[in-house]
Amino acid sequence: MGKKGKDSTADEATSLIAGVEKHLATGQSTFAGGSFTGAQIVAQLQQLVDLRNAVIAARSAAQARVATEETQRPALLAFASALVQYIRVAFGTQLDVLADFGLAPKKTPTPLTVEQKAAAAAKREATRAARGTKSAKAKKGIKGAVTGVVVSPLVAGPSVVQAPAASTAPTAEPVTGTAPGVTAPKTA
């Protein structure tokens, strides 16, 4: 058995078992530093097949369990979250009881200093000025000015197909220091 995948190795072992049962079932065979009966050879090869089948079955079972978890987990997480909320409401001030449930007490926010409040207010004002945002009252007074709308239909003309030019050589334009098709400004 050369370097092959595990499934193909198990398939090859199954084929070897069939051959051993057909041609080496009776008598002794000497190889790999020992002498083996047909039953011993089949038992060794069958272990290889059984190991692969067990892995395949375990993988299938694991995939089924993962699928079951994925379908049931959201509802169970919502239930656990509701329980935590209930426990916090019922025992919110009793730190030892919360610890029994493995919950830490809610942190109380530290109040901002006067400097932090002033900096936050200045940052808000600067952001509003930079974005050009206004209050609801100021926005009410802003209206767009549209004097009229003209709708003109667009009609497609007949399609024109040009025949290829007789000459394939590119035409040279005089070099004037400007882009092709652009006339140079007149000088006085």
Specify whether the CB–CB gap between 20 and 39 falls below 8 A: no
Q: Model confidence over 134-168: pLDDT tens digits?
A: 788 877 777 766 666 676 777 777 766 676 665 55
pTM over 0.85: no
Alpha helix segments (H runs only) across 102-187: 114-131, 136-140
Mean pLDDT, rounded, for 68-74: 96
Q: Model confidence over 29-56: pLDDT tens digits?
A: 989 999 999 999 999 999 999 999 999 9
**pLDDT cut 70: percent of the chain above it:** 78
71-80, 82-91, 173-182: lowest mean pLDDT where?
A: 173-182
What mean pLDDT value characterizes the chain? Answer: 82
Distances (CA, A) of 184 to 95, 106, 165, 187, 188: 87, 77, 28, 9, 13
